[in-house]
Structure 1
Amino acid sequence: MTVSQPVTIPWWGAELLGSRPDHDVWARTSRDVTWAELRRQVTRSIDIFAAHGIGPGSSVALRLPPSLTGIWSLLALWSLGAQVQLLDHRLKPAEVQRVLELCRPKYHAHTTDETAAQFQDEYEVYVEWRRDGTPARTDHCLVQFSSGSTGRPKVIGRSTASLRGELDAFSRIPGMPRQGERVLLLSSTVHSLGLIGGVLHAMSVGATLVFTTHLQPQALAATLAEQDIDAVFGVPFHYDLLSRVPDPPAAPRLRLAVSGGERLREDVHRSFEERYGVRIGQAYGMTETGIVATDLTGEFAPPVVGRVAPGVHTRVRGGELWVRLDRSPYLQDEGAERYVDGWLNSKDLAHYCEADGTLRITGRSDSLVAVGGLKVDLMEIEHELALHPCVREVVVVHAEGGIEAHVGAPEGLTVSELMAFARERLSNFKIPRRIHVVPALPRTANGKLLRSAELLRAAQDGTGAGTRRTAAAGRPTVAGSTVAGSTGGSP
């Protein structure tokens, strides 16, 4: 009987872990964590994982809440030559089970604390050996999952070479955090910007990571000042919180605020700059590719996402952005058709400006739908509805009944008011047939807005978000309600 050799998964972690003096501060939480402690904790975790049989070519699903434990467990598993399937801690048990069945890891490392939500220094880790699991079948050191905002998440592999290439790109982008600076990392360390642009970049250049357990607006603003923060990495939700503080304490060292994941609302962008004196910049990328383009200092306004990152090769073909990759990032059939002859179709509608070298993202090619024989970009409708001062978030989908708008807004915004607003700004054939207004829209486990009509309805029906009723267009309704509108007519 022939025994197959384990897949070799290269890792360069020794370069990161061994490059800084013992006494330097690696991270700050409620205490200072030195590089010496980081190395001790990684070594300790290596011993624990190795005692469970984890080694070169092992496949490990790692699902831990935001924590120092999560970071040094990941570094330890990579040091052992294992392939890590990084799961978001917010996944529900049924979702976790589906991923385990899909990817079949040999081990599942997790905690039993299902209530964990905010950052905590340490958690107890349980390692579960899975009888039906298989060793790693590819040399990818990292397996991630797309947001699943439109349905089933895609399984995405990142090689060591891919991660090193992205780190090199970050190191060459002007304005990125540098040695001696402090980075408040609010982005999830499970996802690319937080993990690679945040944790790994900071380690490679010698910046200090700062984590906080407090996500209340006043507490976040205080952290910027008290911790002498130089840079913040977050998502629109975090900047929305910070922009709500009317008179925040001075944060004189703050020079950089970077947002990724979703488009930032114009009012948040404006309010943050007024309060903190810093324009919010952008980091545009995909789980499949890593970073693609940046505008870290907020020089440009959306839909411009900045200039293409160093070493990243892109092209616009048929109005869509394609990114050069040496191989397909997809480890399952889902999404594989998007990789053609060494190029990945991002499905983002894009345009290059030759004058200043910027990249403009104007929507999604898969958000184009036909209404009465006319093409409608759902992202355009989202953008226009988002201009209403009471709208906090909006998703527009196309279902069997036509275009639907799902809006998150505070109590008091009526559907009739929003429908009238839409009629003022959109051609008749672009006006949603139905508008649903609820206090907050449902999101995926990693915080992205759901973008499937079926999933949106199921989530809203399951949460009981307000009393919903149907009314004809023009009749007054309250937040948490649904109204039917009409479409048609000439554009």
Structure 2
Amino acid sequence: MAAATDFGSWLAALLSDRERFDEVWAHGETVVTRHRLRTGTERAGAALAAHGVRGGSTVAVQVPPSLTLLWSVFALWSAGAQVMLFDPRLTAAETTRLLELCEPQFHLTSPASGRSTAVFRDECEVVVERRRTGRPAQSEHALLQFSSGSTGLPKVIGRSGRSLLAEVERFADLPDMPKRGENLLLLSSLMHSFGLIGGVLHSLSAGVALHFAARPQPFELLKLMAERPVDAVFGVPVHFDLLSRTAAPPPLPALRLAVSGGEMLSCEVFDRFARRYGVRVGQAYGMTEAGIIATDLTGRHGPSAVGLPAPGVGTAVVEGTLRVRLAEDPYLHTDRADRFTDGWLNTYDRCRARPGSGVLEINGRADSVVAIGGLKVDLTEIEAVLADHPEVGEAVVVFGEAIEAHVVAKGALSKSALLDWCRVRLSAHKIPKVFHFNAAALPRTSNGKLIRNRDLLHAAREKGRQAVIR
């Protein structure tokens, strides 16, 4: 079964457009024209075909962010293969679990996998392993992705070629997206929808030149943005936080657009970035399951607003949470009936639509709310209070038999001092009963999100204690 015929044909047509061969497609350490993109894709396709990859093949791609990653994926899609994007930061155990679950016929890896994936490489070595237990595509999904796993095991999510094309069209219909001839600095992960579709595929289709950073330090990013010059930057909140803290940045007269995705942007970062650069950070709100859902690209509305629904996206606010209309159940290999019912996906994001304008505001997670003594408590509210303490670096709050907080302290912070801080800011029933102080950073998922699963947090603490004892 061919997994991506229409989508592959669309991509192949873009790669074969000879009138645009001289255009800059991407700029990493070196400039890559569309002609080089085509030759790189053809070279990757020939190597994959020699290993037996063809239309309907299933291929797990676990390669660091690089031009090699992109033209390998392009080659697979052009051939009609089904691409499974594995994060290169996954542990061996996590990788084995996904391989057993998804049963790809081929596994693409690189010796560079597992290193810092904040560093973009132009090219890297790729190893192709043929798996005897793999199966060809069982569906017409062109792309398989995986949820963050912040509350447990990752979910397998399928995207058809039709849905990918529809999302590219949605981005194209947004008037403020980067346009032909403009330069986009892409800091967003290539493993996830906003970076891959809103960044890479939109740019390829629209004629936008992509720029990648081999050195992601704030000063180096600003130097790159000034020299090239960059019109737009896509990233996550931490990127804009770091950039807004940089003293004496160079002038960036070309910069007109800064868009954050992946997590909610804080008002503090929003305000600081606007003061420093004169550009309001916009937001692109979406999910792996649905792609882009709503946008406020120019930051007109500011946090916690994420803007209006993207063109063609059906949304509804039901009992305070956002639902999104989808053509098909996005979940594979697992029953997620609690999330997808009668064509509607429950995002579990608490949402409010502003009367009159329809602008969506996201105000935390509905599944972070617990009942204690008949009273509802939002654990994210407690996290926010703890995070505001000047001596707290990170905080995660979970609920088991009682509310417990896992905290990283910057200095000598005592439990009594933190309790005093909470007593002033929280009702008595919201104050954590247990505090766990971590010397280093709290555990995160492979794509950098804080883990909020109590069992996983305790397992990480126990593992750390055993390492110290040894």
Normalising by structure 2, report the TM-score.
0.93
Contact map agreement 1:234 1:259 (CA 8 A) in 2: yes
Deviation at residue 112 of structure 1 after TM alignment: 2.2
Distance 1:209 1:242 in 2: 19
Which residue is equivalent to 2:77?
78
SS in 2 for 1:263: coil
Which residue is equivalent to 2:133?
132
Contact map agreement 2:368 2:380 (CA 8 A) in 1: yes
SS in 2 for 1:249: coil
Distance 2:411 2:139 in 1: 51
Root-mean-square deviation (CA), in Å? 2.0
Deviation at residue 372 of structure 1 after TM alignment: 1.4
Out of 4, 12, 17, the residue aligned to residue 9 of structure 1 is: 4
Distance 1:335 1:225 in 2: 46
SS in 1 for 2:14: helix
| Runs of at least 5 residues in structure 2 that lack an aligned partner in the other structure | none
Deviation at residue 361 of structure 1 after TM alignment: 1.3
The amino acid across from 1:217 in the alignment is P
Which residue is equivalent to 1:68?
67
Distance 1:434 1:466 in 2: 23
Which residue is equivalent to 1:435?
435
SS in 1 for 2:68: helix
Which residue is equivalent to 1:473?
none
Residues 268-307 of structure 1: pairs in structure 2 closer than 5 A = 268-307=269-308
Deviation at residue 185 of structure 1 after TM alignment: 0.6
- Is 2:18 aligned against 1:22? no
Identity %, equivalent residues: 53
The amino acid across from 2:245 in the alignment is R
- Is 2:401 aligned against 1:406? no
Which residue is equivalent to 1:419?
419
Which residue is equivalent to 2:182?
181
Deviation digits for residues 129-184 of structure 1 (CA, Å, limit 9, x no counterpart): 10111111010000000000001000000001111111111111231111111111
SS in 1 for 2:141: coil
SS in 1 for 2:158: strand
Deviation digits for residues 255-275 of structure 1 (CA, Å, limit 9, x no counterpart): 111111112233322322222
Residues 152-171 of structure 1: pairs in structure 2 closer than 5 A = 152-171=153-172
Alpha carbons of structure 1 residues 301 and 417: separation in structure 2 relative to 1, 3 Å: farther
Contact map agreement 2:2 2:81 (CA 8 A) in 1: no
In the alignment of these two chains, the number of paired residues is: 461
Distance 1:373 1:253 in 2: 54
The amino acid across from 1:57 in the alignment is G
Which residue is equivalent to 2:112?
113
Distance 1:464 1:302 in 2: 39
Deviation digits for residues 199-240 of structure 1 (CA, Å, limit 9, x no counterpart): 001111111100011122222222221221111111122222
Distance 1:408 1:23 in 2: 51
SS in 2 for 1:271: helix
SS in 1 for 2:43: helix
Normalising by structure 1, report the TM-score.
0.90
Deviation at residue 414 of structure 1 after TM alignment: 4.3
Distance 1:35 1:313 in 2: 35
Deviation at residue 368 of structure 1 after TM alignment: 1.3
Contact map agreement 1:350 1:359 (CA 8 A) in 2: yes
Which residue is equivalent to 2:99?
100
Alpha carbons of structure 1 residues 8 and 364: separation in structure 2 relative to 1, 3 Å: closer
Distance 1:76 1:157 in 2: 19
Deviation digits for residues 454-475 of structure 1 (CA, Å, limit 9, x no counterpart): 21232344346999xxxxxxxx
SS in 2 for 1:141: strand
* Segment drifting more, 167-176 vs 411-420: 411-420
Alpha carbons of structure 1 residues 427 and 404: separation in structure 2 relative to 1, 3 Å: same
Which residue is equivalent to 2:192?
191
| Runs of at least 5 residues in structure 1 that lack an aligned partner in the other structure | 1-5, 468-491
Contact map agreement 1:155 1:334 (CA 8 A) in 2: no
Deviation at residue 115 of structure 1 after TM alignment: 4.7
Distance 2:273 2:394 in 1: 17
The amino acid across from 2:109 in the alignment is H
Alpha carbons of structure 1 residues 461 and 266: separation in structure 2 relative to 1, 3 Å: farther
Contact map agreement 2:109 2:127 (CA 8 A) in 1: yes
Deviation at residue 8 of structure 1 after TM alignment: 4.6
Residues 328-407 of structure 1: pairs in structure 2 closer than 5 A = 328-400=329-401, 402-407=402-407
Which residue is equivalent to 2:57?
58
The amino acid across from 2:13 in the alignment is E
- Is 2:440 aligned against 1:445? no
Which residue is equivalent to 1:41?
40
The amino acid across from 2:407 in the alignment is V
SS in 1 for 2:20: coil
